[in-house]
Amino acid sequence: MTSLAAGPFPFEAVRDALGLVRLAYAARSDDQRARLEAVGRELRLALQLAKAGDGTLGHRAAVERVQRVVMELDDLLGDDESGTKLAGIAKARILGEPVAAQRAG
């Protein structure tokens, strides 16, 4: 897994992942919604912690939190092919990995 600790926090990519959580929440059953709510809370908290600035304790806590929670999001959307693709894109953007362009359809 790529480390975010040395670089700037990926605010935009984390907000994208939060948007994915919101979309998935609308389409999921009640038993999955609780997990999605937890993921959303963790992403929002990571965004708040990261505002402390690069290299701070808040930044490190945000990085650890977002790296853990993006795996949970990937797991949650694992049975939905399109959700898996979106989660993979969000994960790659958060971790600073290359994202392959894909056609919608």
Which pLDDT value is given to residue 77? 79
- Measured between alpha carbons, how far is 28 from 70 in angstroms, rounded to an integer? 18
- Model's pTM, two decimal places? 0.75
37 with 25: CB under 8 angstroms?
yes
pLDDT digits (tens, 9 = 90+) for 13-27: 999 999 989 888 877
94 with 70: CB under 8 angstroms?
yes
Tokens of 16: 């994208």
- Measured between alpha carbons, how far is 19 from 23 in angstroms, rounded to an integer? 6
Which pLDDT value is given to residue 80? 62
pLDDT digits (tens, 9 = 90+) for 34-87: 999 999 999 999 999 999 999 899 999 999 999 999 999 888 877 665 767 777
